[in-house]
Copies of this chain bind each other. A is one copy, B any other.
Amino acid sequence: MTVTADALSSLHDVLDASAVVSDPDLMASYLHDEAEWAPYGTPLAVVRARSTAEVQALVHWAIEHDTPVVPRGAGTGLSGGANSLAGCVVVSLDRMNAVREIDPLERLAVVEPGVINDDLRKAVAEHGLWYPPDPASSPWSTIGGNVATNAGGMCCVKYGVTRDYIRALEVVTGTGEVVRLGRRTAKGVTGLDLMGLYVGSEGTLGIVTEVTVRLLPLPDPGHTVIGYFDDLAGAGQAVRDVAAQGLTPAALELVDRVSLQAVDDYAHLGIGGEANVVLIGRFDDAGEAGAAGAAAMQKAFSGAGATFTAEAADSEEADAMMAARRLAYPALERLGDVLTEDVCVPKAAVPQMLEQIAAIAARYDTTIANIAHAGDGNLHPLMITERGDEAAKARAQDAFTAIIDAALAAGGTVTGEHGVGLWKRAGMERELGPQVVAMQRAVKAALDPHGILNPGKAI
């Protein structure tokens, strides 16, 4: 206890008391992200930083005291990347939530890492601009967290992921220096792309204290279409057919019966009817191109065996369709403990992968709900177990591993957008192989020579 008291006392020497939380009750909400099945430990303290200077002071202190630092945003991660380590300091960036600048001419915004994704979107929309990356967590997750995980979302199928919209970062490095990576200009190739390397590095290379994002003009409200299917295989075939026909939707999402039911119980949207699987697609091309895309998608749905297809009559109906997908995760969480998969497979493999997931659910006697960024081949099978049923949890974890096996066999990746965190470390080693893992560790050691930044995560 004396060691802990001494360490805490020295932390108070370098940081204002109002920034340091060490009361166990107050620290409780900073112990883990949404991957609560993954291990976590009790931190020495939580630092709720308000400035780059405070983050830098913390890192200098951590180097001196050889103490791990675990950065976190809103804690909506699903892989355990923000889970606390025993004796670490968790640094929460949630107080650094200012939008510092919006530049409509250069189409960029400069924000602090704790800005919530939807808040950024609202702020730039006032200038007719759009920040595309839209993880389902956008009402809660922060830009800093999105950067840490290179978050994806629904619009990725057309617009790409977080990294594609980051121009520059201010970072406190593993040696406690404050550096700027990237640039404000539209292009630039001065030196290695360290900025891109930091995006998706899950807090293992530095702590992001400012983010410069690239923006697009707000797109057309678009055309939203829905298709009902009797089974996953039919929906998977429709996804494949949409890709084969060269269509480029701005979203193509899949929601299965279990998820639809949960959402209906939760939000009473009335989407899905008697369908076992629903696909929701959106085209945002301006003018007749968007309408033509939507019509072609409805035709592709019908061709693959849809029992019903329709285009949303208005934006309210379109929002309800997309909400059926967006609310699936919180709706399913009400049913029990949830373990979230995040494999991504080639589009051609989507039908077979969905069939294999159904087979794995049966084999491991596990309820698996399916939601998916289907147009990307990014599938989120969700293992749901009754709270406290440890045997069911063990079976769910076996199912989780079996899905990873199947995804790798199909030429896929173990994590499409959630990150490696703790859950996918074994999968990462299998996917990348020992040589690439060694390269990753060499880069980590080069940029975090003291090994204090989120150790044991991701890499």
List, in ascending order, chain B residues with CB within 8 A of A104's CB.
244, 246
Q: Give Cα A144–Cα B414 distance, bound, in whole angstroms.
A: 28
A193-226: which have CB < 8 Å to B? 193-194, 196-197, 199-201, 204-205, 216-217
CB of A326 within 8 Å of the partner chain: no
Nearest B residue to A191, CB-CB: B440
- Cβ contact within 8 Å between A186 and B286: no
CB of A106 within 8 Å of the partner chain: yes
List, in ascending order, chain B residues with CB within 8 A of A128's CB.
246
Q: Mark A114-140, 1 if CB is under 8 A from B, else 0.
A: 000000000000001000000000000
Q: Give Cα A188–Cα B436 distance, bound, in whole angstroms.
A: 15
CB of A267 within 8 Å of the partner chain: no
CB of A38 within 8 Å of the partner chain: no
List, in ascending order, chain B residues with CB within 8 A of A446's CB.
439, 442-443, 445-446
- Cβ contact within 8 Å between B419 and A189: yes
Q: Give Cα A7–Cα B179 distance, bound, in whole angstroms.
A: 43
A420 in complex: contacting residue of B191, B289, B431, CB < 8 Å: B191
Q: Mark A225-260, 1 if CB is under 8 A from B, else 0.
A: 000000000000000100110101000000000000
Q: Mark A412-431, 1 if CB is under 8 A from B, else 0.
A: 11111111100010011001
- Cβ contact within 8 Å between B435 and A378: no
CB of A312 within 8 Å of the partner chain: no
List, in ascending order, chain B residues with CB within 8 A of A177's CB.
435
A105-B244, A244-B105, A443-B192 known; A161-B185 Cβ under 8 A: no
Nearest B residue to A181, CB-CB: B436
Q: Mark A170-190, 1 if CB is under 8 A from B, else 0.
A: 000100010111011111111
Q: Mark A440-453, 1 if CB is under 8 A from B, else 0.
A: 10111111000000
- Among A107, A190, A411, the one with the most B-chain Cβ atoms within 10 Å of its Cβ is A190
CB of A344 within 8 Å of the partner chain: yes
Nearest B residue to A188, CB-CB: B413
CB of A347 within 8 Å of the partner chain: yes
- Among A177, A180, A191, A197, the one with the most B-chain Cβ atoms within 10 Å of its Cβ is A191
Q: Give Cα A246–Cα B219 distance, bound, in whole angstroms.
A: 12
- Cβ contact within 8 Å between B440 and A187: no
Q: Give Cα A187–Cα B193 distance, bound, in whole angstroms.
A: 19
Nearest Cβ on chain B to A60's Cβ, whole angstroms: 15
CB of A164 within 8 Å of the partner chain: yes
List, in ascending order, chain B residues with CB within 8 A of A440's CB.
191-192, 194
- Cβ contact within 8 Å between A184 and B411: yes
Stretch at the interface among A45-53, A148-156, A269-277, A315-323: A148-156
List, in ascending order, chain B residues with CB within 8 A of A289's CB.
285-287, 289
Besides A104-B244, A152-B189, A179-B439, 20 new A-B residue pairs in contact (Cβ under 8 A), listed by A number: A164-B164, A177-B435, A181-B436, A184-B346, A184-B411, A185-B377, A186-B378, A187-B373, A189-B415, A190-B420, A190-B432, A191-B432, A191-B436, A192-B458, A194-B197, A194-B440, A197-B197, A217-B246, A286-B289, A443-B446
Binding site for B on A (CB under 8 A): 104-107, 128, 149-150, 152, 156-157, 160-161, 163-164, 173, 177, 179-181, 183-194, 196-197, 199-201, 204-205, 216-217, 240, 243-244, 246, 248, 285-289, 344-348, 373, 376-378, 411-420, 424, 427-428, 431-433, 435-437, 439-440, 442-447, 458-459
A-B contact pairs, 18 of them (CB 8 A): A104-B246, A105-B243, A156-B186, A157-B186, A179-B436, A185-B346, A186-B378, A187-B377, A192-B201, A192-B443, A192-B444, A193-B196, A193-B197, A194-B197, A196-B197, A285-B289, A442-B446, A443-B446
